[in-house]
Amino acid sequence: MNIKYVNKEAIIDNVEKFGFANIEVGAEVDLFSEIEKIKKEKNAIILAHYYQEPDIQDVADYIGDSLGLAQQAEKTEADIIVFAGVHFMAETAKILNPAKKVLLPDLNAGCSLADSAPPVAFKAFKEAHPDHLVISYINCSAGIKALSDIICTSSNAEKIIESLPKQQKIIFAPDKNLGAYLIKKTGRNMVLWNGACMVHEIFSVEKLIKLKVRHPNAKVIAHPECEEPILSLADFIGSTTGLLKFSKSSEASEFIVVTETGILHQMQKSAPNKTFIPAPPENNCACNDCPHMKLNTLEKLYLCMKYELPEIIMDEELRILSKKPINRMLEISAHYNL
Ligand code: 13P
Ligand code: SF4
């Protein structure tokens, strides 16, 4: 039995924020079995992104990339969706499920990429390009989604761009690195918003080259949110699900993984005899751990399921406007069987 001590700070933080009553500070709780119990009692489902800590991945009902998570959120029959990920992901689940309760263990779990596109500035940018269609990466706020024509993720972006007529002018937002990668892949000249993910921009080319020299047989697998000099060193580029599938099916036995380190948990589980080496960041910190994703902990997950807080609440007008481009993404993805 895995007993975890309920951390005093985590509880006090939540008491202050949400006024939870009657919390037994310092109580010993078997978080894994309690979470399973609450899931059944409340007909709740836990959807987790690969960047979550291993304990959270292990209690999740579904673990996936942004597209998979949105598809699961759309089809679930659970009454409560507990989103172990960041705010834009839980918000997307709420946009698709207005009648369901959507919970996020820590409301501060944001995203540097989503923050790099404030809706007011983006609206002006869009107005400066009136004949352009807007494709936005799902890593953005509902405000940006409402200003977009189609949403995409790293696993369907190429297909979505290619499904549009060749002469269609396109704005791609908010990730300039993914945008540049897609321009190269599709040959389409898109106008890019100048946003980026702090985690995927931290990798060091110099250290990666040195690591490759030390591991000559290792395949370098990278997420397309990385900058071009890093991507040019990669043997395979894909979404988190794409990287996981590649590492499982590839004949190689060693991989240098250039994305957030949370994905290594599933890589190691699906191929226990293979070796996965996290790519080194520029400095000596653990900067390739997403500080937003890692705000969620098993304790906070348990507390949020127990007290059904914090909950994602949305303005209905914004929800309706932001749902249209998500629906377009889901329709195109279904058409291509993605
Ligand atoms: P995917 O899991 O869709 O590849 O996205 C990666 C990411 O950065 C999510 O925040
Ligand atoms: Fe946002 Fe980057 Fe963290 Fe993903 S890894 S949630 S894009 S900051």
pLDDT-derived band at 28 (thresholds 50, 70, 90) equals: confident
Dihedral of the CA atoms 230, 50, 331, 130 (nearest 10)? -50
Q: What is the pLDDT of residue 135?
A: 98
Q: Is the CB of 111 under 6 A from ligand 2?
A: yes
Q: How far apart are CA 258 and CA 209, in angstroms?
A: 12
Q: Is the CB of 49 under 6 A from ligand 2?
A: no
Q: How far apart are CA 4 and CA 218, in angstroms?
A: 37
User: Considering only CA atoms, which residue is closest to atom 9 of ligand 1?
Assistant: 66
Q: Is the CB of 154 under 6 A from ligand 2?
A: no
* CA 146–ligand 2 middle distance (angstroms): 20
Nearest ligand 1 atom to alpha carbon 85: 10
Between the two ends of the chain, the Cα-to-Cα distance in Å is: 38
Ligand nearest to the CA of 287: 2
User: Considering only CA atoms, which residue is closest to atom 2 of ligand 2?
Assistant: 197
Which domains occur in the chain, in start order? 8-108+293-315 (3.40.50.10800), 113-197+317-335 (3.40.50.10800), 203-278 (3.40.50.10800)
The pLDDT of residue 295 is above 90: yes
Q: pLDDT digits over 251-288, tens only?
A: 999 999 999 999 999 999 999 999 999 998 887 776 78
For helices 66-75 and 87-96, the axis angle rounded to 10 degrees is 30
Q: pLDDT digits over 116-141, tens only?
A: 999 999 999 999 999 999 999 999 99
Bond preceding residue 291 cis, omega within 30 of 0: no
Q: What is the pLDDT of residue 284?
A: 74
